[in-house]
A and B are shown apart, each in its own frame.
Chain A
Amino acid sequence: MTGGLAWTGRRLLLGAGQTAAVVLLVFVLTEALPGDAAVALAGDQPDPERIARIREAMGLDRPAAERFLEWVAGMPRGDLGTSLATGRPVTGHLAAGAGPTLILAGATLTLLVPLSLGLGMLAARREGGLTDRAVSAVTVAVHSVPEFALGVLLAAVFALHLGWLPATAVGTAVTGDPAVLVLPVLVLTARPVCTLSRLVRAGMIEAMASPYVAQARRYGLSASRVRWAHALPGALAPAGQQLARTCDWLLGGVIVVEALFVVPGLGTVLIDALAARDVPVVQGLAVVYGLVTVMANLGADLLARRLAPRSEVAA
C-alpha cells in the first residue's frame, strides 16, 4: 500500500513540475511571437509615432522579466493579468469563452463514452466476425475525414439541403437552443469515437483471452458477468488515457468546429487574441490548457493504476 502512495506522490510531483514548466514555456514562447499588440492594432496604418504611443499606453515598453514576475505573482490569487485589447481581466475573457466550450465538450463526452464503449464491446464479441469488420470499416473511414470537411458536409446536408437543423449558432445562445449543438457535437464526436472504440475493442479481445478471465470462467461465472465485471475494467485503462487526451482536445475548443458553426468558445477567444497579439489572454489560455492537460493525464494515470494495478503505467 505504501508503494502505491509513493507512486501517487511521485506522480503528483511530476504534475506540479509539468505545470511550472508550462507557465515558463508559455511566457517565453509568446514573447517570441513576431510583432506585438501595438503593431497588430495599427494594422494597415503603421504610423511609427502611433505605434510608439499605443505601446506606451499598453505598458509594452517595460522589461520582459518584470512583466513575467508580475504575471506569476498574480497567479496564486487567480489573477492572470489584464487584456491589452479590452483592459478587462483575462479571467473574465476565459470565463466568457469557457461556457460554450464546456457545454460542447460535456455534450460530446456524454455521447462519446457510451457510444465508444458499446461499439468497442460489440466489435469484440466475435473477433473477425461480420459486426467486427463492419464496425472497423466504418470507424476507419470516418476517422480519415478531418473535422473541417465533415462539418462542411454535415452542414450542407442536414442544414442547407434538408433544413432539419440550424446551419450555425450565429445569433443564438448555445444554452438557448439545443438544436444548434447537434451538428457541432456530431463533428466533435466523430473521430474520437473511432479511436476510443478501437481501443476498447482491442482491450476487450486481449482481456477475454487473458488467464484471469479464463480463471473466472472456470469458476463458472456467467458470460455477461465475466465480460462486464472482469474483462472490461482491464480493457479500459488504455481507453481511459485516450479519453484524457480527448478532453484536452475538446477544451481546446477545437478551433475549426467553433469557427465553422460560430460557437463563441475558448478556441474563438484564442484566435481573436492571437490576431490582436493580446498576449496576456493568449498566455492565460495556454496556462489553462496546460493545467487541464496535466490534470486530465494525472487523473487517467491514477484511474488506470486502480483499474489495472499490475500494469506499470508511466510515472
Chain B
Amino acid sequence: MHTANDPTAPTAPTGPARRSLLLAGGAGALALAAGCRTGPGTTADHAPDGGTPRRGGRLRAAFAGGGAGETLDPHAANLFVDAARAKALFDKLADFGADLAPVPRLAARWEPNAALDTWRITLRPAAFHDGRPVTAEDVLFSYRRIADPKGTFRAKASLEPIDLAASRAVDAATVEFRLKRPYAEFPNVLAAFGAYVVPRGATAFDRPVGSGPFSFVSFTPGSSLLVKRHPGYWEGAPHLDELEFLIAGEESARVNALLGGQVEYAHELNPATARAHQGKGRIDVVRLPGSSMQGFVMKTDRPPFDDKRVRQAFLLIADRRELVDGALSGTGEIGNDLFGKGCRYYASGLPQRTQDLDRARALLKEAGAEGLKVTLDTAPAATGFVEAAGIFKEQAARAGVTVEVKVGNKETYWKDIQTSGTFASYRSGAMPIESHVSQRLLTGSTTNATHWRHRDFDDLYQQAQSTPDEQQRTALYERMQRRLHDEGGFLIWGFADWIVATAPTVRGVSRTAPANTLDWARFDRTWLA
C-alpha cells in the first residue's frame, strides 16, 4: 500500500500524452493521501496556463544566496537556493507532493516486509549525465556519505532509522534497507531535504554529475549557476534549453531585476511587494499556500507553562486572524495549533480554536497565575516574527497577562530558544506531520523546542510506525494531534504563503506546491511562451 504506480515510463514523450500519464500517476497517489490540496504532481497546475509547452530558451531565476561559501554538493544543501539547484542537477528516491505525502522519483516503488522494518526499493531506469546508469550501489554510497558519523550533513538525522551496515544492494536496480525499528512512514526519509543520489565515489562537486533534468555548465559561487537541458532525463527532457540561477540577496533587487527584464523568475518576495504588483500585468505573482507554519513555542517543562491550564489560556488568548493580517499582511491562513494544515494525516475534524479571553482569564485564575508576566523571545530571524510578537503582546494584555518582548540576535536565534527562555517565536517549513512529530515532539527528539516529553505520547508514535493499516494509523495520528491540540506547547496561529513572481511569459509554475516540495522551484516542467 505504500507503493505507487510508476507515473511515467522513462522515455515518456512530451506534450498531451505525457500530461495524461502524469495525471494517472497523480490520481494513484491521491487515493493514498488523506485528502488535502491537489495531491502531488504537476497535473492540475499546468492546465490553467493553457497552451502546449514550447521548447527552448533560457530561464534566469533569482534567489537569495549564501555568498562565496556556496557549494553544489547536494548533501550540504542548507538554503532554498541550494535545494533548487540540487533539484535541477540531482534526484532523490522520492520527493514530497503538495500534501507532503512522498511521491516516487528515482524509486519506482517501495515495498515493506510485514514487520515494516525492511524496505525493498526498486529503482526506475535512469542515467547520470555522463551516461552511467543509476544503480543500487550509487544509492547506498550516497546514503552512507550523508550518514557518515563524522559528517554534519543536514539529512543525517533523517537517515538515522536506517541500519546502513546491514542494508544491501539486492541487484543493480534493487536496494534493501534494514531499519533499526519498524517505520511505516519510511518513504518520508527517501524524500528528506538533501537526501540526493550522487554517483558512487563522488566527493568533489565543482563539476557535479547527477541524474537530474539539467546538467552542469558553469558555476560562480555567490553569483551564478548555469545548467543545460539533459536530453536523456528519465521523466522526459525539460522544455528549457538552459536555466541560470542568479543570486540577489536583497528582495528589492530581485524584484527590480524581474521588472527590468533581467530575470524571469524571482524567489521569495515580501507580501507588500506582491500586493503592489499583483494584477498589474507586468509580473505574475504566485502564492504557494501552507509553506511556512507560524507560531509560538511554550516550554512545557518550565513555569509558568508546566501547568497545562496556563498553556490552554495562551492558546485562547491568540486572535489568529489579527496575527495573520498584521504579521503576514494577510498572505496566509489561520492555524489551529496543529502542524501541517492540509497535509496527509492532518486532524481537520478538530474544532477551530478562537479567541476567548474570559475563558483564558478563568484558566489563569484556576492555575493561580493572575497578573502573570512572561518574556517572549523573538528576533528578525523570519518574516513577521517581531510584528507577531508585538501583536500577541497586545492580545495578552487584554487577558491581564504582561508579555515583555525581547528581540534577540537573528543568526543565533534558533539555538538560543532551544534551551533558554520559556516562550518564543517559531516557524517551520513544510514537512510531513510524521517528521514534525519525530524531530520535535518525542523524548529523544533533537530539536524539541517545547520540551514535550511524554512516554505515552512516544508510545503512540511508535505504535503508529508499527501499524501497516493506513486507517488505523490515521486514527493514531488523530489521537496524537487531539492531545497536542488540547494541551501542547505549540501555539500555531497561521500558515504563511510563500511568494514567488515570474515574467508573464513563464508557464508551468506550480501554484499549489509549498516551498521545498517536488513542484516548488521545479524548472524542468517550466517553459517560456
Q: A residues bordering B, Cβ < 8 Å?
A: 34-35, 39-51, 53-54, 57, 83, 85-86, 88, 93, 96, 152, 155, 159-160, 163, 166-168, 170-171, 259-262, 264, 268-269, 271-278
Contacts and interface: CB of A to CB of B under 8 A. Distances in A.
Interface string B440-480: 00000011000000000000000000000000000000000
Contacts of B246: 170-171
Given A45-B154, A260-B252, A39 B68 contact: no
B411 interface: yes
A60 to B, nearest CB: 13
Contact of A93 (B62, B68, B262): B68
A40 B413 CA distance: 9
Contacts of A34: 409, 411-412
Contacts of A163: 260
A106 B252 CA distance: 26
Nearest to A263: B253
A155 B69 CA distance: 29
A288 B138 CA distance: 46
| A-B pairs, 7 with minimum CB distance | A272-B67, A85-B69, A35-B412, A167-B260, A47-B446, A46-B415, A167-B256
Given A43-B414, A49-B446, 9 more contacts: A40-B411, A44-B414, A44-B428, A50-B446, A83-B68, A167-B256, A264-B223, A268-B67, A276-B67
Contact of B259 (A35, A43, A160): A160
B249 interface: yes
Contact of B260 (A85, A159, A259): A159
A18 B80 CA distance: 43
A52 to B, nearest CB: 10
Contacts of B145: none
Contacts of B154: 45
Contacts of A274: 411
A272 B66 contact: yes
Contacts of A269: 67-68
Query: Chain A: interface secondary structure?
Result: helix
Contact of A277 (B257, B260, B411): B411
A219 B71 CA distance: 71
B256 A168 contact: yes
Contacts of B224: 171
Nearest to A160: B259
A86 B221 CA distance: 10
B390 interface: no
Interface string B193-208: 0000000000000000
Given A51-B415, A268-B222, A272-B66, A171 B60 contact: yes
A170 B222 CA distance: 11
A274 B150 CA distance: 26
B150 A53 contact: yes
A260 B123 CA distance: 46
B412 to A, nearest CB: 3
Nearest to A281: B68
Contacts of B446: 47-50
Nearest to B154: A45
Contacts of A160: 256, 259-260
B296 to A, nearest CB: 15
B67 A167 contact: no
A12 B68 CA distance: 36
B67 A273 contact: yes
Interface string B237-249: 0000000101111
Contacts of B256: 155, 159-160, 167-168
B78 interface: yes
Interface in B421-451: 427-428, 446-447
Contacts of B253: 168, 170, 259-262
Nearest to A44: B414
B250 interface: yes
Contacts of B447: 45-47
Given A83-B69, A259-B249, A269-B68, A50 B152 contact: yes
A85 B248 CA distance: 19
A275 to B, nearest CB: 6
Nearest to B79: A43
A83 B68 CA distance: 10
A70 B223 CA distance: 32
B356 to A, nearest CB: 32
B78 A41 contact: yes
Given A47-B446, A159-B260, A167-B257, A262 B250 contact: yes
A259 B67 contact: no
A45 B431 CA distance: 13
A299 B263 CA distance: 44
A276 B260 contact: no
Contact of B69 (A51, A53, A54, A278): A278
Contacts of B62: 170
Interface string B246-284: 111110110011011011000000000000000000000
A272 B69 contact: yes
Contacts of A44: 414, 427-428
B157 interface: yes
Interface string B167-178: 000000000000
Contacts of A268: 67, 222, 249
Given A47-B447, A259-B249, A261-B253, A167 B262 contact: yes
A35 B409 contact: yes
B383 interface: no
6 contacts: A43-B414, A48-B446, A51-B415, A167-B256, A170-B253, A271-B249
A100 to B, nearest CB: 10
Contacts of A152: 252
B3 interface: no
A259 B157 CA distance: 35
**By CB atoms of chain A within 10 A, which of B67, B221, B246, B259 has the most?**
B67
Interface in B65-95: 66-69, 71, 78
**By CB atoms of chain A within 10 A, which of B71, B256, B260 has the most?**
B256
Given A39-B415, A46-B447, A268-B67, A167 B249 contact: no
B67 A262 contact: no
B418 interface: yes
A45 B152 CA distance: 11
A53 B152 CA distance: 7
B494 to A, nearest CB: 18
Nearest to B67: A272
